[in-house]
């Protein structure tokens, strides 16, 4: 998420009550998670396991819970609870806004687009031209939809990321301040849910078609002209490249990549990144011929055990 205007390091330090290391006039232009940061962004880290990753990332301001050597060209903000401080920035610059109508007065809806009765269009939503938003769709604040998009009944675009940190008193939520971005010529099936990014964007690219009852997690990128079958579950921070096909009930773990033109057959479970241009099946997903041989071998075990007795 980019701030409405750039802030100085000293201004951000004052807002969150942190101690700064670096030029007080150092510019901070936004916040983002470690896997999506770019120059000008602030990111947070609160576990030694990830210190080096954060310090060596493209982020130029690091919110951290220990004083360390500051990399050249960057700045540090020292805070006892970086997670909490980061959440305070998210809620300050992207606060919850109460709705006052089924279609917000701040929503921008392009020429020729149809909003069917019962659809909810939140604050600051952008919808392009010649779209159809069917009844009972919910489009949360700040969602962006391109041209010639169809969203079927019951779909929910822009719900919060499923991201929590364990605390002694329970789970602490990392408040979402990202968006869902739907590009042109996308179709989204009935009762499908697409979560917004934690602080970046969840993106569905040009021409992709999503069936009914699909769940797409936060900060996931779906490439161009993909097909995603019914009841697929795609965890957060996943990258699905162009022309990928996921058939029905495929489950995809987080933080992995499915390469261009890969095909994953129905009922598969993807637990690691997959090379493009190949077909996969099974749990865990692998070459279908290999998986069938494994099944055939398992079926032979009772007879083999009988002969050994």
Active site residues per annotation: 218
Nearest to 8 by CA among 36, 53, 42: 42
What does residue 77 show for φ and ψ, rounded to 5 degrees? Answer: -120, 120
For the CA atoms of the chain, what is the radius of gyration?
A: 23
The partner residues of 222 in beta bridges, in order of sequence, read 204, 240
Measured in degrees and rounded to the nearest 5, phi and psi for residue 51 equal -55, -55
Helix (H, G, I), strand (E, B) or coil at 165: strand
Nearest alpha carbon to residue 197 among 9, 74, 66, 35: 35
| Distance, CA of 185 to CA of 177 (rounded, Å) | 26
Spell out the alpha helix ranges (H) of the chain: 9-16, 51-55, 82-93, 288-308
Contact 48, 62 (CB under 8 A): no
Cis peptide before 284 (omega within 30 of 0): yes
Q: Which two three-digit tokens encode residue 50?
A: 């990830």
């Amino acid at each position: 998420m980019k701030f409405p205007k750039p802030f100085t390091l000293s201004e951000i330090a004052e807002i969150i009550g942190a101690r700064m290391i670096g030029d007080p006039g150092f510019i901070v232009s936004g916040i983002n998670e470690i896997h999506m940061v770019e120059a000008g962004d602030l990111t947070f880290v609160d576990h030694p396991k990830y210190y080096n990753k954060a310090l060596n990332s493209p982020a130029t301001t690091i919110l951290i819970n220990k004083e360390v050597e500051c990399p050249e060209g960057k700045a540090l903000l020292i805070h006892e609870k970086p997670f909490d401080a980061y959440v305070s920035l998210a809620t300050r610059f992207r606060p919850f806004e109460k709705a006052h109508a089924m279609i917000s007065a701040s929503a921008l809806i392009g020429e020729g687009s149809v909003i069917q009765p019962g659809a909810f269009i939140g604050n600051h939503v952008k919808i392009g031209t010649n779209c159809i938003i069917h009844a009972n769709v919910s489009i949360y604040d700040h969602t962006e939809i391109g041209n010639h998009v169809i969203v079927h009944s019951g779909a929910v675009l822009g719900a919060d990321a499923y991201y929590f940190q364990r605390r002694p008193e329970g789970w602490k939520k990392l408040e979402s301040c990202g968006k869902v971005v739907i590009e042109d010529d996308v179709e989204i099936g009935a009762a499908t849910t697409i979560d917004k990014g934690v602080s970046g964007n969840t993106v569905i690219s040009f021409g992709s078609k999503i069936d009914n009852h699909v769940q797409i997690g936060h900060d996931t990128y779906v490439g161009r002209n993909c097909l995603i079958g019914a009841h697929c579950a795609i965890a957060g921070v996943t990258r699905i490249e162009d022309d990928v096909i996921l058939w029905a009930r495929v489950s995809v773990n987080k933080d992995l990549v499915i390469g261009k033109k890969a095909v994953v057959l129905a009922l598969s479970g993807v637990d690691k990144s997959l090379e493009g241009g190949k077909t996969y099946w099974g749990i865990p997903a692998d070459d279908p011929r290999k998986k069938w041989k494994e099944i055939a071998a398992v079926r032979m075990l009772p007879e083999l055990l009988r002969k050994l007795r």
